[in-house]
Amino acid sequence: MRFTLLTLSSLLLACGGEPVKLAEQAEKLAIEAPKSAGARRFVVDSSDGVLGFDMDAPIEKIRGRVPASALTGEIFVDTADLAKTTGLVHVDLRALELFQRKADAEGQPFGEETKNETQNQHAREWLEIGPDAPADALAKNALIEFSLRELGDLSATNLDKLSGAERKVSFTATGEFLLHQRKASKSVKLEATFTYVGDQPSSVRIKSLEPLEVGLDEYDVHPREAFGKLAAKTLQTLSPKVAKAAAVHLEFTAKLAPDAKPSMESAAAGAAPAVAGQAPSGTPYQTPAGDAKAAATAAPGKAG
Protein backbone atom coordinates (compact mmCIF):
# COMPACT_ATOMS: atom_id res chain seq x y z
CA MET A 1 0.00 0.00 0.00
CA ARG A 2 1.31 3.41 -0.99
CA PHE A 3 0.00 5.11 2.13
CA THR A 4 1.37 3.10 5.05
CA LEU A 5 1.34 3.48 8.82
CA LEU A 6 4.94 4.62 8.58
CA THR A 7 3.88 7.38 6.19
CA LEU A 8 1.18 8.46 8.66
CA SER A 9 3.65 8.44 11.55
CA SER A 10 6.17 10.56 9.66
CA LEU A 11 3.48 13.04 8.70
CA LEU A 12 2.31 13.38 12.30
CA LEU A 13 5.87 14.05 13.44
CA ALA A 14 6.71 16.44 10.60
CA CYS A 15 5.29 19.49 12.32
CA GLY A 16 6.08 18.69 15.93
CA GLY A 17 3.22 16.22 16.30
CA GLU A 18 0.64 18.30 14.45
CA PRO A 19 -1.18 16.40 11.70
CA VAL A 20 -0.28 17.43 8.16
CA LYS A 21 -3.07 17.79 5.63
CA LEU A 22 -2.22 15.82 2.52
CA ALA A 23 -3.12 17.38 -0.81
CA GLU A 24 -5.96 15.71 -2.67
CA GLN A 25 -5.05 12.75 -4.84
CA ALA A 26 -5.15 13.37 -8.60
CA GLU A 27 -3.34 12.01 -11.65
CA LYS A 28 -3.61 15.15 -13.81
CA LEU A 29 -5.41 18.46 -14.10
CA ALA A 30 -7.93 19.55 -16.72
CA ILE A 31 -7.84 22.87 -18.53
CA GLU A 32 -11.00 24.94 -18.43
CA ALA A 33 -12.68 26.01 -21.65
CA PRO A 34 -11.80 29.60 -22.61
CA LYS A 35 -13.88 32.08 -20.62
CA SER A 36 -14.12 34.59 -23.45
CA ALA A 37 -15.20 34.58 -27.08
CA GLY A 38 -12.16 36.72 -27.82
CA ALA A 39 -9.62 34.36 -26.24
CA ARG A 40 -6.51 33.54 -28.26
CA ARG A 41 -4.51 30.36 -27.75
CA PHE A 42 -0.82 30.61 -26.87
CA VAL A 43 1.33 27.44 -26.88
CA VAL A 44 4.32 27.03 -24.56
CA ASP A 45 7.64 27.15 -26.43
CA SER A 46 9.67 24.13 -25.26
CA SER A 47 12.93 25.70 -26.42
CA ASP A 48 12.82 28.71 -24.10
CA GLY A 49 12.14 28.45 -20.39
CA VAL A 50 12.96 26.73 -17.12
CA LEU A 51 11.36 25.51 -13.92
CA GLY A 52 13.53 25.62 -10.83
CA PHE A 53 13.31 25.43 -7.08
CA ASP A 54 15.41 26.26 -4.03
CA MET A 55 15.51 24.39 -0.72
CA ASP A 56 17.58 26.18 1.91
CA ALA A 57 18.40 24.28 5.11
CA PRO A 58 20.88 25.32 7.86
CA ILE A 59 23.81 23.33 6.46
CA GLU A 60 22.76 22.59 2.90
CA LYS A 61 21.30 24.55 0.02
CA ILE A 62 19.70 22.56 -2.78
CA ARG A 63 18.89 23.98 -6.19
CA GLY A 64 16.81 22.01 -8.66
CA ARG A 65 15.99 22.70 -12.29
CA VAL A 66 14.37 21.17 -15.32
CA PRO A 67 15.12 22.55 -18.81
CA ALA A 68 12.79 24.19 -21.31
CA SER A 69 12.38 20.88 -23.14
CA ALA A 70 10.44 19.58 -20.12
CA LEU A 71 7.83 22.35 -20.36
CA THR A 72 4.64 22.18 -22.43
CA GLY A 73 1.16 23.65 -22.19
CA GLU A 74 -1.23 26.29 -23.48
CA ILE A 75 -2.82 29.54 -22.31
CA PHE A 76 -6.01 31.27 -23.48
CA VAL A 77 -5.82 35.06 -23.34
CA ASP A 78 -8.37 37.75 -24.16
CA THR A 79 -6.18 40.82 -24.55
CA ALA A 80 -9.16 43.08 -23.84
CA ASP A 81 -9.95 41.30 -20.55
CA LEU A 82 -6.96 39.57 -18.98
CA ALA A 83 -9.01 38.54 -15.96
CA LYS A 84 -10.57 35.83 -18.14
CA THR A 85 -7.25 34.10 -18.81
CA THR A 86 -7.10 30.32 -18.36
CA GLY A 87 -4.35 27.83 -19.05
CA LEU A 88 -2.41 24.76 -18.03
CA VAL A 89 1.38 24.31 -17.90
CA HIS A 90 2.99 20.85 -17.70
CA VAL A 91 6.49 19.93 -16.52
CA ASP A 92 8.16 16.53 -16.93
CA LEU A 93 10.42 15.82 -13.93
CA ARG A 94 12.42 13.11 -15.67
CA ALA A 95 14.89 15.79 -16.75
CA LEU A 96 15.32 17.04 -13.16
CA GLU A 97 18.82 17.98 -12.00
CA LEU A 98 19.85 18.87 -8.44
CA PHE A 99 22.85 20.92 -7.32
CA GLN A 100 24.02 21.56 -3.76
CA ARG A 101 26.12 23.83 -1.58
CA LYS A 102 27.18 22.54 1.83
CA ALA A 103 28.45 24.06 5.08
CA ASP A 104 30.47 22.27 7.75
CA ALA A 105 28.10 23.50 10.44
CA GLU A 106 25.19 25.88 10.92
CA GLY A 107 26.35 29.47 10.59
CA GLN A 108 29.47 28.50 8.63
CA PRO A 109 30.01 29.64 5.01
CA PHE A 110 28.70 27.47 2.19
CA GLY A 111 31.06 25.90 -0.31
CA GLU A 112 30.89 25.92 -4.08
CA GLU A 113 27.89 24.46 -5.84
CA THR A 114 28.32 20.89 -7.09
CA LYS A 115 26.17 18.20 -8.67
CA ASN A 116 26.04 15.08 -6.53
CA GLU A 117 24.82 12.02 -8.42
CA THR A 118 23.84 10.21 -5.21
CA GLN A 119 21.67 13.13 -4.18
CA ASN A 120 20.04 13.16 -7.61
CA GLN A 121 19.31 9.46 -7.22
CA HIS A 122 17.76 10.08 -3.79
CA ALA A 123 15.56 12.85 -5.17
CA ARG A 124 14.15 10.44 -7.73
CA GLU A 125 13.48 7.88 -5.01
CA TRP A 126 11.64 10.49 -2.91
CA LEU A 127 9.51 11.46 -5.91
CA GLU A 128 9.12 7.82 -7.00
CA ILE A 129 10.49 8.47 -10.48
CA GLY A 130 13.57 6.29 -10.16
CA PRO A 131 14.56 3.41 -12.47
CA ASP A 132 12.68 0.92 -10.25
CA ALA A 133 9.34 2.73 -10.66
CA PRO A 134 6.77 0.90 -12.82
CA ALA A 135 6.26 2.64 -16.16
CA ASP A 136 2.71 3.78 -15.42
CA ALA A 137 3.61 5.14 -11.98
CA LEU A 138 6.72 6.82 -13.38
CA ALA A 139 4.70 8.69 -16.00
CA LYS A 140 2.21 9.91 -13.40
CA ASN A 141 4.74 10.83 -10.71
CA ALA A 142 6.95 12.69 -13.18
CA LEU A 143 4.15 15.11 -14.01
CA ILE A 144 3.95 18.58 -12.46
CA GLU A 145 1.09 20.83 -13.56
CA PHE A 146 -0.13 24.31 -12.70
CA SER A 147 -3.54 25.53 -13.82
CA LEU A 148 -4.38 29.18 -14.44
CA ARG A 149 -7.96 29.50 -13.28
CA GLU A 150 -8.19 33.00 -11.83
CA LEU A 151 -6.12 36.18 -12.19
CA GLY A 152 -6.26 38.92 -9.57
CA ASP A 153 -4.39 42.09 -8.60
CA LEU A 154 -3.85 42.86 -12.29
CA SER A 155 -1.72 45.95 -12.93
CA ALA A 156 -3.70 46.34 -16.19
CA THR A 157 -6.72 44.43 -17.48
CA ASN A 158 -6.83 45.59 -21.11
CA LEU A 159 -3.68 45.18 -23.21
CA ASP A 160 -5.40 46.90 -26.13
CA LYS A 161 -5.27 50.17 -24.19
CA LEU A 162 -1.51 49.90 -23.73
CA SER A 163 1.00 50.72 -26.44
CA GLY A 164 4.41 49.60 -27.67
CA ALA A 165 6.04 46.42 -28.91
CA GLU A 166 6.25 45.12 -25.33
CA ARG A 167 3.32 45.36 -22.90
CA LYS A 168 3.98 44.24 -19.33
CA VAL A 169 1.40 43.17 -16.75
CA SER A 170 1.78 41.78 -13.22
CA PHE A 171 -0.87 39.74 -11.40
CA THR A 172 -1.59 36.97 -8.91
CA ALA A 173 -2.46 33.65 -10.55
CA THR A 174 -4.60 31.22 -8.58
CA GLY A 175 -5.14 27.63 -9.59
CA GLU A 176 -4.20 24.09 -8.72
CA PHE A 177 -0.65 22.80 -8.36
CA LEU A 178 -0.17 19.09 -9.06
CA LEU A 179 2.87 17.15 -7.84
CA HIS A 180 3.41 13.47 -7.04
CA GLN A 181 -0.19 12.67 -7.98
CA ARG A 182 -1.61 15.22 -5.53
CA LYS A 183 -3.17 18.62 -6.11
CA ALA A 184 -3.90 21.68 -3.98
CA SER A 185 -5.00 25.25 -4.62
CA LYS A 186 -2.07 27.69 -4.79
CA SER A 187 -1.50 31.34 -5.67
CA VAL A 188 1.64 32.86 -7.13
CA LYS A 189 2.68 36.34 -8.27
CA LEU A 190 3.66 36.44 -11.93
CA GLU A 191 4.66 38.94 -14.58
CA ALA A 192 3.65 38.63 -18.23
CA THR A 193 5.42 40.54 -21.00
CA PHE A 194 3.46 40.46 -24.27
CA THR A 195 5.30 41.04 -27.53
CA TYR A 196 3.27 42.81 -30.20
CA VAL A 197 3.74 43.08 -33.96
CA GLY A 198 1.77 46.14 -34.89
CA ASP A 199 -1.50 45.88 -32.98
CA GLN A 200 -1.45 42.07 -32.72
CA PRO A 201 0.15 39.95 -29.94
CA SER A 202 2.68 37.35 -31.08
CA SER A 203 4.03 35.88 -27.83
CA VAL A 204 4.07 36.26 -24.07
CA ARG A 205 6.92 35.77 -21.59
CA ILE A 206 5.75 34.71 -18.13
CA LYS A 207 7.98 34.62 -15.07
CA SER A 208 7.63 34.34 -11.30
CA LEU A 209 7.87 37.52 -9.26
CA GLU A 210 7.83 35.53 -6.02
CA PRO A 211 8.47 31.81 -5.51
CA LEU A 212 5.63 29.38 -4.96
CA GLU A 213 6.10 27.56 -1.65
CA VAL A 214 5.40 23.83 -1.95
CA GLY A 215 5.52 21.70 1.20
CA LEU A 216 7.01 18.23 0.82
CA ASP A 217 4.72 16.75 3.48
CA GLU A 218 1.66 18.14 1.73
CA TYR A 219 2.55 16.26 -1.46
CA ASP A 220 3.71 13.04 0.23
CA VAL A 221 7.32 13.59 -0.87
CA HIS A 222 9.40 11.76 1.75
CA PRO A 223 12.74 9.96 2.04
CA ARG A 224 12.42 6.59 0.34
CA GLU A 225 14.82 3.70 -0.10
CA ALA A 226 13.06 2.39 -3.21
CA PHE A 227 9.76 2.72 -5.00
CA GLY A 228 6.95 2.55 -2.44
CA LYS A 229 9.35 1.97 0.48
CA LEU A 230 9.85 4.74 3.02
CA ALA A 231 13.30 5.23 4.53
CA ALA A 232 13.95 5.06 8.27
CA LYS A 233 15.01 8.72 8.30
CA THR A 234 12.17 11.23 8.04
CA LEU A 235 12.03 14.85 6.89
CA GLN A 236 12.12 15.80 10.56
CA THR A 237 15.39 13.99 11.24
CA LEU A 238 16.92 15.30 8.03
CA SER A 239 15.82 18.91 8.64
CA PRO A 240 19.34 20.33 9.25
CA LYS A 241 20.25 19.20 5.72
CA VAL A 242 16.93 19.19 3.85
CA ALA A 243 14.29 21.92 3.91
CA LYS A 244 10.66 20.86 4.33
CA ALA A 245 9.47 23.08 1.49
CA ALA A 246 10.62 24.00 -2.00
CA ALA A 247 10.48 27.56 -3.30
CA VAL A 248 9.43 27.00 -6.93
CA HIS A 249 10.01 29.54 -9.70
CA LEU A 250 9.06 29.36 -13.35
CA GLU A 251 9.83 31.25 -16.54
CA PHE A 252 8.68 30.41 -20.06
CA THR A 253 7.54 31.83 -23.38
CA ALA A 254 4.25 30.98 -25.08
CA LYS A 255 3.69 31.79 -28.74
CA LEU A 256 0.45 32.63 -30.49
CA ALA A 257 -0.89 29.44 -32.07
CA PRO A 258 -1.79 29.36 -35.79
CA ASP A 259 -5.42 28.65 -34.87
CA ALA A 260 -5.51 31.38 -32.23
CA LYS A 261 -7.40 34.15 -34.03
CA PRO A 262 -10.94 34.37 -32.64
CA SER A 263 -13.90 34.00 -34.97
CA MET A 264 -15.51 37.43 -35.35
CA GLU A 265 -18.88 35.80 -36.06
CA SER A 266 -18.65 33.72 -32.89
CA ALA A 267 -17.55 36.74 -30.90
CA ALA A 268 -20.49 38.74 -32.16
CA ALA A 269 -22.86 35.94 -31.20
CA GLY A 270 -21.28 35.55 -27.78
CA ALA A 271 -20.24 31.98 -28.50
CA ALA A 272 -16.98 30.24 -27.71
CA PRO A 273 -14.00 31.02 -29.97
CA ALA A 274 -13.56 28.96 -33.12
CA VAL A 275 -10.74 26.73 -31.88
CA ALA A 276 -10.38 23.21 -33.20
CA GLY A 277 -11.33 20.66 -30.57
CA GLN A 278 -13.22 23.22 -28.47
CA ALA A 279 -15.23 21.64 -25.68
CA PRO A 280 -18.69 22.96 -24.81
CA SER A 281 -18.72 25.86 -22.38
CA GLY A 282 -18.17 24.80 -18.78
CA THR A 283 -16.37 21.53 -19.62
CA PRO A 284 -12.62 20.86 -19.63
CA TYR A 285 -10.93 21.93 -22.84
CA GLN A 286 -9.31 19.12 -24.82
CA THR A 287 -6.09 19.81 -26.71
CA PRO A 288 -6.63 19.97 -30.50
CA ALA A 289 -5.59 16.64 -31.93
CA GLY A 290 -4.10 18.27 -35.01
CA ASP A 291 -1.58 20.32 -33.05
CA ALA A 292 1.33 17.96 -32.44
CA LYS A 293 3.05 20.42 -30.14
CA ALA A 294 0.02 20.95 -27.93
CA ALA A 295 -1.03 17.30 -28.09
CA ALA A 296 2.16 16.41 -26.25
CA THR A 297 0.79 18.30 -23.23
CA ALA A 298 -2.04 15.83 -22.73
CA ALA A 299 0.29 13.35 -21.03
CA PRO A 300 3.88 13.49 -19.78
CA GLY A 301 6.47 12.39 -22.29
CA LYS A 302 10.18 11.98 -22.21
CA ALA A 303 11.81 15.36 -21.74
CA GLY A 304 14.62 16.60 -23.91
Tell me the pLDDT of the chain (304 aa) as tens digits: 444 434 444 444 444 445 568 999 999 999 888 999 999 999 999 999 999 999 999 999 999 999 999 999 999 999 999 999 999 999 999 999 999 999 999 999 999 999 999 999 999 999 999 999 999 999 999 999 999 999 999 999 999 999 999 999 999 999 999 999 999 999 999 999 999 999 999 999 999 999 999 999 999 999 998 898 988 878 777 777 888 999 999 999 999 998 765 433 333 333 333 333 333 333 334 444 334 344 344 344 443 3
Question: What number of residues does the chain have?
Answer: 304
Question: Minimal CA–CA distance to 145: which of 54, 219, 220?
Answer: 219
Residue 220 is assigned to a structural domain of this protein: yes
CA dihedral 65, 68, 71, 73 (to 10 degrees): 140
Q: Looking at residue 33, which CATH number applies to its domain? A: 2.40.128.110
Residue 66 is assigned to a structural domain of this protein: yes
Q: Do 5 and 230 touch, CB atoms closer than 8 A?
A: no
Residue 248 is assigned to a structural domain of this protein: yes
Residue 295 is assigned to a structural domain of this protein: no
Residue 148 is assigned to a structural domain of this protein: yes
Residue 268 is assigned to a structural domain of this protein: no
**Per-residue model confidence as pLDDT tens digits over 120-145:** 999 999 999 999 999 999 999 999 99
Q: What residue numbers bound the domain in which 111 lies?
A: 22-260
Residue 287 is assigned to a structural domain of this protein: no
**Per-residue model confidence as pLDDT tens digits over 167-208:** 999 999 999 999 999 999 999 999 999 999 999 999 999 999
Please tell me whether the overall predicted TM-score, pTM, comes out greater than 0.85 for this model.
Answer: no
Number of neighbours of residue 10 by Cβ within 10 angstroms: 22
CA distance 57 to 239: 7
Q: Do 48 and 253 touch, CB atoms closer than 8 A?
A: yes
191 CA to centre of own chain: 15
Residue 7 is assigned to a structural domain of this protein: no
Provide the domain count of the chain.
1
